[in-house]
C-alpha cells in the first residue's frame, strides 16, 4: 500500500518491483520542476512538454537501474538533461534541413547578373540619344 510519506527511493523500488501506481507520486512531486527546467533549456513549451514526457517514460523504463541512494532528483534530471540535448540536436538537424529548402546563393548571383544585363540593355538603348561627350563617357566604362 502506498503512503504519502514514502520517499522517492522507496517509490522507485516499488516501481522497479512492478508496482506501477507508485510512479504517480514521483511524477506529482517532480513534474513541475522538470517542465520548468526543460522550458528554460529548450525555449519552447510544446517541445519541453514532449521532452518531459519522454523523460518520464525513460525513468519508468530504467527504474530497475536506479540505485536508491537518496538522489532520485539527480537521476531524473540526468535523464532530462540528456533528453533536452537530444531534442536540441534534432531541432538543429531539422533547421539545417529547412535551410536547404531555400534557394542556393548561386541563384541569387544569376538573378543579379540578369538584372545587370537588363540594366545595361536599357543604357545601350538610350546611348544613341545622348550627346557625343556623354555617350563617350558611358562607353569608356
Per-residue pLDDT reduced to its tens digit, 73-94: 999 999 999 999 999 998 776 6
What DSSP string runs through 103-127?
A: PPHHHHHHHHHHHHHHHHHHHHHHG
Identify the sign of the CA torsion 67, 68, 74, 79.
Answer: positive
CATH 3.30.300.180 fits 8-100, yes or no: no
Give the pLDDT of residue 67. 86
Half-sphere exposure of 44 (CA within 13 A, CB side): 8
Domain boundaries, the chain: 8-100, 105-140
- pTM for the model: 0.62
Amino acid at each position: 500500500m502506498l503512503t504519502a510519506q514514502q520517499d522517492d527511493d522507496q517509490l522507485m523500488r516499488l516501481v522497479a518491483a512492478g508496482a506501477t501506481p507508485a510512479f504517480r507520486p514521483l511524477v506529482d512531486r517532480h513534474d513541475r520542476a522538470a517542465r520548468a527546467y526543460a522550458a528554460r533549456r529548450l525555449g519552447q513549451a510544446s517541445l519541453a512538454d514532449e521532452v518531459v514526457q519522454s523523460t518520464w517514460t525513460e525513468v519508468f523504463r530504467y527504474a530497475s537501474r536506479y540505485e536508491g541512494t537518496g538522489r532520485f532528483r539527480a537521476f531524473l534530471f540526468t535523464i532530462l538533461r540528456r533528453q533536452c540535448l537530444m531534442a536540441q540536436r534534432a531541432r538543429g538537424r531539422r533547421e539545417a534541413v529547412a535551410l536547404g529548402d531555400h534557394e542556393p546563393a548561386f541563384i541569387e548571383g544569376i538573378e543579379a547578373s540578369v538584372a545587370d544585363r537588363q540594366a545595361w540593355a536599357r543604357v545601350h538603348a538610350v546611348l544613341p540619344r545622348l550627346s557625343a561627350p556623354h555617350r563617350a563617357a558611358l562607353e569608356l566604362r
